[in-house]
């Protein structure tokens, strides 16, 4: 295993370009299975989870041509199996989106238990119910087995606005006979990317970006070249990083149209980037003062389905709040283990009360102290949050289990070194 050694308490300055959207990579790779023509994906993030996903589809029989670290061509001429390798599959949750495309293409799919971050219970029920509505038969014997000689369009109401369940319903619906309507659909940027790419392949999807998608099924799809948009979660992480280190950072190609709620929430903490076309500029010495609600009430930051504040932004925003003057309540509604990483922040000097598994009260500003003994990164988002905390803390911090961070953030120490950070990767 590897660790980071960080010397904190120094402003970071410079220019950074975010990688492609990690959460878009999985459904776009899965969509390539719906055609026997070449599908070229550009701006893929070169991270562990995406490399695992490419290995999984390669095992299925997809021809994968890696042009360089960020551009690949996939050709699913003939598949060898509809059962993804269970060892690889257990490493990432994003591979669940193979469910819809394999069912649509081959009429069957067999999946082991998925992996991913241990941040609480993560249901698969919505995926199954959506595919059953399209005509799939389901059997559970410790693994997930779905079969469907044919798929027929239906009017589907998802019981939750699950991103991957929406993507599975889309992937199956584009090849189902007739019209499919998906209500209470997720509409995150990566869901929009999937719809846009499929439409360029010959699909007929309307309502992209809304919570109601209407799909007219087609017999076949063509190949395509498609470029992934920037990772808005990485962009949000760099906004927090710039603010708490009192640095001046320009984030290139930030797609601010996908950041409206994120910028609104950061403004409540006294962090106000400047939108410059497609770039974001973070001036140094942000105000970092919590804006109270009317009547001087303690404000609340909570997460909800898009276009509300993303659940994956809660951890880094909580770290930013430790450096802002005032009190704010964080309410993480989705995952009961997401906030457990705050004990590491408390040990570094943060003033946080964990009210229950879903709520934490943060009072700032706090002077954070480095932790030479070492803290561990429990999941991707908590890992980057702890890294941001270490970069603004006084003294040295060691972060273990950084493979978790590598799963979601490409070459993070290289980008940080370019900004002037004192960070070193070492083998334990």
Q: Please say if 284 is a catalytic residue.
A: no
Q: Which helix (H) or strand (E) holds 139?
A: strand 137-140
Long-range contacts of 62-70 (CB under 8 A, 24+ apart): 62/32, 62/33, 70/20, 70/42, 70/43, 70/44, 70/45, 70/46
Instruction: Count CB-CB contacts under 10 A for residue 86.
Output: 12
Token output for 217:
């099924």
Tell me if residue 111 falls in helix, strand or coil. strand
Name the nearest CA neighbour of 257 among 279, 272, 286, 234.
279
Token output for 269:
């903490």
Tell me if residue 205 falls in helix, strand or coil. strand
Instruction: Count CB-CB contacts under 10 A for residue 309.
Output: 20
Bond into 234 cis (ω within 30): no
Q: Which of 13, 49, 68, 117 does the annotation list as catalytic?
A: 117
Strands 155-157 and 179-183: parallel
Q: Are 214 and 189 in contact (CB under 8 A)?
A: no
Bond into 354 cis (ω within 30): no
Name residues whose C-beta falls within 8 Å of residue 39's C-beta, 6 or more positions apart in sequence. 31, 32, 73, 74, 75, 201, 223, 224, 225, 226
Tell me if residue 65 falls in helix, strand or coil. strand
Q: Identify the sign of the CA torsion 131, 224, 40, 20.
A: negative
Cα separations in angstroms, 338 against 14, 225, 419 = 31, 36, 29
Q: Which residues are catalytic?
A: 117
């Amino acid at each position: 295993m590897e660790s980071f050694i960080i010397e904190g308490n120094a402003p970071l300055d410079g220019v950074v370009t975010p990688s492609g959207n990690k959460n878009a990579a999985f459904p776009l790779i899965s969509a390539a299975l719906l055609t026997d023509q070449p599908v070229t994906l550009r701006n893929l993030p070169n991270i562990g989870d995406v490399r695992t996903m490419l290995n999984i589809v390669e095992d299925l029989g997809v021809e994968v041509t890696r042009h360089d670290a960020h551009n690949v061509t996939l050709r699913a001429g003939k598949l060898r199996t509809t059962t993804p390798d269970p060892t690889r599959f257990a490493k990432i949750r994003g591979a669940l989106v193979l469910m819809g495309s394999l069912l649509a293409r081959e009429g069957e799919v067999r999946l082991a238990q998925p992996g991913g971050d241990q941040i609480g219970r993560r249901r698969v029920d919505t995926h199954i119910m959506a595919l059953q509505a399209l005509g799939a038969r389901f059997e559970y014997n410790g693994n997930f087995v779905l079969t469907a000689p044919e798929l027929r369009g239906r009017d589907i109401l998802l019981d939750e606005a699950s991103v991957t369940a929406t993507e599975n319903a889309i992937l199956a619906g584009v090849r189902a006979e007739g019209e499919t309507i998906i209500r209470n659909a997720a509409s995150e940027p990566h869901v929009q990317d999937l719809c846009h790419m499929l439409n360029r392949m010959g699909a007929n999807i309307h309502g992209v970006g809304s919570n109601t998608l209407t799909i007219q099924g087609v017999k076949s799809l063509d190949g395509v070249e498609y470029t992934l948009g920037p990772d808005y979660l990485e962009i949000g992480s760099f906004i927090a990083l710039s603010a708490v280190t009192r640095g001046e950072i320009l984030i290139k190609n930030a797609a601010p149209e996908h950041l409206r709620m994120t910028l609104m929430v950061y403004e409540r903490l006294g962090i106000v980037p400047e939108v410059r076309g497609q770039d974001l500029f973070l001036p140094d010495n942000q105000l970092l003062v919590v804006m109270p609600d009317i009547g001087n009430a303690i404000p609340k930051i909570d997460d909800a389905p898009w276009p509300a504040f993303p659940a994956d932004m809660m951890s880094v925003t909580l770290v930013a709040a430790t450096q802002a003057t005032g009190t704010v309540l964080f309410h993480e509604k989705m995952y009961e283990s997401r906030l457990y990483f705050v004990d590491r922040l408390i040990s570094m000097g943060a003033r946080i009360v964990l009210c229950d598994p879903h709520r934490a009260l943060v009072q700032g500003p706090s002077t954070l102290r480095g932790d030479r003994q070492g803290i561990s990164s429990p999941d991707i988002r908590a890992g980057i949050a702890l890294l941001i905390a270490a970069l603004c803390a006084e003294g040295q911090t060691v972060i273990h289990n950084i493979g978790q961070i590598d799963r979601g953030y490409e070459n993070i120490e290289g980008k940080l070194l370019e900004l002037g950070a004192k960070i070193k990767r070492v083998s334990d």
